[in-house]
Amino acid sequence: MMSPAEWEILATSFSVALRALAWSLPFAIAMAFFLSRPGTPGRIILDGLTHLPVILPPVLVGFVLLIVFGRRGPVGSLLEQWFGIHLAFTTAGAALATGVMTFPLLVRSIRLAFEATDARLFEAAAMLRAGPWDRFVSIALPLAGPGILAGAVTAFAAAMGEFGAVITFAANIPGRTQTLPLAIYAVLQEPGGEAQAWRLALISFTVAMCGLIAAEFLQRRARKRLAG
């Protein structure tokens, strides 16, 4: 049985991961499709920029977000003045940091799905005078559906475990930005907190495994539907 505090931590983790996925998925689909097209200008540079969060230390990514989206940052100050939106040290900020860290994972998975699509289908559709948007909606998206779905579930599971960027940009505020990894870190700083850390680690492990199994199941099911 989980305590009320553990339920609160789990709920915060789910909220952050869902927001991160909802914000990053449309951009990931667009970027993945753009990178999957042969002859795209500047593709190497864009691909490198997309995967920067994987290469850079997560703490550095969180620090850059704090500089850009903080109250005195170039973007953060404008958001606060124009819309009253404040991201640093908030749940929305934790979701933003998580979305940035999981974005490369999403793009990679979706890009592979787009690249696996038979190019002759696009050529046939072009001969039938289908426009670029029609080809994208009627051919690219449906055929890449299993990869998009699997990538989204896998990214959600990864988002549940994000630590470095979140604690730097959103801090570790119980009931607000404290996700499972941050809660584990917090209890390990307390004397005798190992037992609680093990409980939280078990919850995190269970959620991650469920996410990976769900991704595999949904991907197989979507492939069978397409094959049928």
Q: What local confidence, expressed as pLDDT, does residue 83 receive?
A: 87
Q: Are 144 and 117 in contact (CB under 8 A)?
A: yes
Q: What is the pTM of this model?
A: 0.86
Q: CA-CA distances (angstroms) from residue 63 to 69, 79, 165, 220?
A: 10, 18, 8, 39
Percent of all residues in the chain with a pLDDT value above 70, rounded to a whole number: 96
Does the pLDDT at position 207 exceed 90? no
Token readout for 214 is 């769900």
Q: Where residue 18 falls among pLDDT bands split at 50, 70, 90? A: very high
How far is residue 179 CA from its own chain's centroid?
A: 15
Phi/psi of residue 162, nearest 5 degrees: -70, 135
How far is residue 162 CA from its own chain's centroid?
A: 10
Q: What local confidence, expressed as pLDDT, does residue 130 receive?
A: 72
Q: What local confidence, expressed as pLDDT, does residue 94 receive?
A: 94
Query: Over the chain, what is the mean pLDDT?
Result: 86
Please give the Cα distance from 214 to 167 (Å, whole number). 28
Please indicate whether residue 126 or residue 6 has the higher confidence score (pLDDT): 6
Q: What local confidence, expressed as pLDDT, does residue 135 receive?
A: 77
Q: What local confidence, expressed as pLDDT, does residue 222 receive?
A: 66
Q: List the beta strands (DSSP E) in the chain.
A: none
pLDDT per position as a tens digit, 46-83? 888 899 998 999 999 999 999 999 888 899 889 888 88
Please give the Cα distance from 176 to 8 (Å, whole number). 9
Mean pLDDT of 37-51: 83
Does the pLDDT at position 165 exceed 70? yes
Q: Where residue 225 falls among pLDDT bands split at 50, 70, 90? A: low
Helix or strand holding residue 188 (H, E): helix 180-188
Domain 4-227 has CATH 1.10.3720.10: yes
Q: What local confidence, expressed as pLDDT, does residue 227 receive?
A: 66
Token readout for 57 is 């230390």
